[in-house]
Amino acid sequence: MTTSRPAAGGGRWVDVDPERLTRWVDGFRERHGDYAQRPTDDGLLLAAFDGATATLYPPPGTSLGFDLADFVEAAKAPRRTGLLLARKAAVAVGVADGARLIASKVDSSYVQSRTAAGGWSQQRFARRRDNQAKAAARDAADLVVRILLPAAAGLAALVCGGDRRTVDAVLADPRLAPLLPLRAERLLDVPEPRHAVLVDAVAAARAVSILVRDPES
């Protein structure tokens, strides 16, 4: 898997499977020539002599490498990752062992979206929707308790995806406090969580994120 998307402030983000990372770096050298490398606070910078740069950020739960060989080895190392995908009333929870999903559960609850009524009807709708959203968050937290808490001691990281506000509401459950230190900064951009989306998220959670900036013209 290799995907690309624009980066804020210029350049682009490229997500690369750890197994393809060496090939990607070889392509970077072919396009831009030799490069110098140095570790940063949270990644590894490749600075080509033509002015192009590629900053490699390791997958969640991975230790930083001091050079490219160490970085690649760490990124490819087997590890277990927890996954929590949530968007509105849909949630998908899983445990991945390397690239393989070994435990999962997907669920959805009804949350009313909107109404055209105003006044008291609008206020009643807002209260009803708020109660539905809270109930959906509790149900989602129950799934996380069942799937992720028993595996927490062996997880290298918890990778979340979907709507940040919904994810935050689920993880606000006090029972999930042991998972909070494992939560990665990376938030996966996923559609409504389903089993197929959860399977795809395993690869996204393992990917090396690379910020590429081309030489200035």
Q: Is residue 66 over pLDDT 90? A: no
Residue with tokens 């070889």: 26
Confidence label for 112 from pLDDT (cuts 50, 70 and 90): very low
Kindly report the pTM of this predicted structure: 0.86
User: Buried b / exposed e across 121-140, counting CB within 10 Å, b at 16+?
Assistant: eeeebeeeeeebbeebbeeb
Check pLDDT > 70 for residue 111.
no
The mean pLDDT value for 69-75 works out to 95
Residue-wise pLDDT for 137-189, tens only, equals 898 999 999 999 999 999 999 999 999 999 999 999 999 999 999 999 999 99
Domains of the chain (ranges; CATH) run 2-78+206-213 (no CATH), 80-205 (3.30.420.60)
Strand (E) or helix (H) holding 103 = strand 100-108
- pLDDT (0 to 100) of residue 92: 97
Scan for tokens 């230190």, then name that residue.
181
Q: Is the pLDDT of residue 217 over 90?
A: no
Signed CA dihedral, 152, 154, 160, 161: sign only: negative
